[in-house]
Structure 1
Amino acid sequence: MSVTPLLVDVGTVLEETTGLVRYALVFLFAAIPVIEILVVIPVAVGLGLNPVTTAVVAFAGNVGSVYALIVSYRRLLEWWRGYAGDDEPSDRYARARRLWDRYGLPGVSIAGPVMAGVHVAALVALLAGSRGRLVAGWMTLGIAVWTVLLTVASVAGVSLLGIA
């Protein structure tokens, strides 16, 4: 799946809304795997949404969905095994697993958001036997780092391009 259509769709939806609905959508988009903070923060800042509010709302949406995954992963795993059987792991899972094998929980948590997505990274950490609280803590740190970096880079890019 290409990221370009996601950028267009997220941007279009955010452009067509106003007020607090825009921030509710930022929260929702940040919680959706594949879109997450990597797409929604630059798009929202580029459209002129307040960078600090965007960062806080996107962070909350992304972290909240990861916490929901952590709380319910055992039930999801049982469902998936019954649904999919023993299918080959996806490329995203394989990348996250290689990251895990090399760097462990801290590496997956910091690099996971850009290498495989936070949801896949959290799932890999849980499947590898990490405790949920440790995964939540490290994922929160990783998401926070990337939220700050993406927001700063987006503001700098908008400023450099003179967009908003």
Structure 2
Amino acid sequence: MTHYRERLVVPARWWLLLAGLAASAWLVYHQAYGWGVSLPVAGGVFALGGVALLAYGRLAIAVGADGVSVGRARLPLTALGSAEALTGEDAREARGPGLDRRAYVAIRGYVPGVVRIGVDDAADPTPYWLVSTRRPERLVAELEAARQTAGR
């Protein structure tokens, strides 16, 4: 059973920028080569860009009875440490100068908040996970509730 689920999709304005890029490619190629080249080029630009945006924007965060998952990474409840919601300058510091290079990082630049999730496992060299989220306080509350149900 999943207690929390969030998917970090790219902002709509990124799709508008992609449409503008495809239109620009169409215009450049249409002037030089006509419809026969410009339409396939513009379509290809939009298709490749769309695949890239969908791939980049499919990061899923879930908290369930078995632990937390971020993308393909999984952290069982038995290894779940304390969690901290970071916003504003604290989030910027955590994503930049304060970042431990051993940390698991799943951040997206278009999402302002992050959560630092401690890893409480002596066999794991990862000190914490740093995860972008649009609702940092709610994710921390769900993580703490999951830790409580695990008896930690």
Structure possessing the higher radius of gyration over alpha carbons: 2
TM-score relative to the length of structure 1: 0.29
TM-score relative to the length of structure 2: 0.31
Structure showing the higher helix proportion among its residues: 1
Which structure's relative contact order is higher, taking Cα pairs within 8 Å and 6+ residues apart? 1
Structure showing the higher strand proportion among its residues: 2
